[in-house]
Structure 1
Amino acid sequence: MEDASRELHLIVYSQPLFKAHWALFVPSINNARVGKKIHAVGDALNGFSITFDRNYNLGTTGRSHTLVHLGYIGAAYIDEASVLGNDLPITDNVAQDRLETYATSAPAPGPSLRPSLYSGSTKKRVEIRDCQTWMKDFITVLVEASVLNRDSLDVLDNAPKH
């Protein structure tokens, strides 16, 4: 029988020269190193898309990462089958449970970086949107829906950015 709540983590993939990549990790019930990764992939020039990596194994990623505890949500928001992907690692963009539906309700960032050939007459500062800004939007959606505790926003504010 499932517990009344499920743990959520922020995966921070640090990179020496660039901003860190952020993803949400939902561990499976039986193995805390295997689970579902929800993140925005792409770049600021071309835009991002939201993807769900099912049966994702933190132990075999090969990428340097840090796990940051975000909080707990009710087990009813997560379908364990969507976490494990029929025991095969798969990536898709179709929401299969309530948590993923919330993820898709936070729009993935579109292109926000101007090409170097931009010749507009007015120059104004552009807000660069990326996986980190999307994660903040997604977690804000969960907080505003009372799915996740407000403290999780403070966790994001203090999470490694690079």
Structure 2
Amino acid sequence: MEESTSNNSPARQDNQNQDPSPSSPGPQVDTPAAPAPPEEQPTGPPEYRTLYLLSYVPSPLFPAHWSMWVPHRASDGSVSKRGTRLHVTGDSRNGFAHDFDRDYDPDEDGRRPWVRAAARIAERHVEDPPTPEGVSAYEACNRLERVALSIPAPGPSMRAASNNAVRTRVALQNCQTWMADFVRALIDQGLIEQSAQALLDECPKN
């Protein structure tokens, strides 16, 4: 913000800017009023968008699938009902891969996912691609997606029953563990609030 220029420079401090002496009743000279300083520009918080956590519960016998969804910004500036869903797809036996579903509307999904607002994120970190339908499902278009790709998709963590190799305990990795790591990375980088961590405990796991 530029500061306003002072009008008290020596060039303007002449006799015309001084009050006339009572003993010298000469002609009264109008002194031009000093220009008002420019109004301060608003410096409020940046625009934000809401991140949502989604959970799909197919059966109590299987782990629920977790995703994150961020709605797009419509051409008129409003929040659209469609957006990008960030998740990893696959299974614990074969491993997972990153996937960005760029034209997703939770209301149109017949699986009727559990949906909760998880956090807000600054608009500059979730810029929409110019043409979502023409962008790869594995290509990052903004910082949120770059953070998602920086979290490795889980590899195989479940052995087949017929595997005769020496059995060692392997921590089960799936879409839920990936989402937990993703949320923690966003918090650690200061992109979302710490409160988003608590929502992971509420998200249905199966």
TM over 0.5: yes
Contact 1:28 1:35 in 2 (8 A): yes
Specify the alignment match of 2:105 in structure 1. 57
Alignment of 1:1-162 (within 5 A): 4-16=47-59, 17-29=61-73, 30-81=78-129, 85=132, 88=133, 92-121=137-166, 123-162=167-206
- Look at both structures and tell me which one has the larger radius of gyration over its CA atoms: 2
CA displacement, residues 94-145 of structure 1 (integer Å, 9 cap, x when unaligned): 1111110000011000010111122233x43221100000000111110110
SS of residue paired to 1:81: coil
Q: Cα RMSD (Å) of the superposition?
A: 1.8
Whole-angstrom distance in 1 between the partners of 2:105 and 2:146: 22
Give ranges in structure 1 of 5+ residues lacking alignment: none
Q: Tell me, in whole angstroms, the C-alpha distance in 1 between the residues paired with 2:157 and 2:170.
A: 7
Match of 2:24 in 1: none
Identity across matched positions, percent: 33
**Unpaired segments ≥5 residues, structure 2:** 1-45
**1:89, CA displacement in angstroms?**
8.8
> Matched residues in 1 for 2:169 and 2:198: separation?
26
Task: Return the offset for 1:59.
Answer: 2.3
Give the Cα–Cα distance (whole angstroms) in 2 for the partners of residues 44 and 98 of structure 1: 27
Higher RCO structure (Cα 8 Å, ≥6 apart): 1
Query: 4+ residue stretches of structure 1 with deviation over 6 A?
Result: none
Q: Is the 8 A contact 1:9 1:25 kept in 2?
A: yes
For the 8 Å contact 1:56–1:89, the answer to whether it is kept is no
* Residue type at the aligned position of 1:6: R
Q: Which has the higher strand share?
A: 1
TM score, norm. by length of structure 1: 0.88
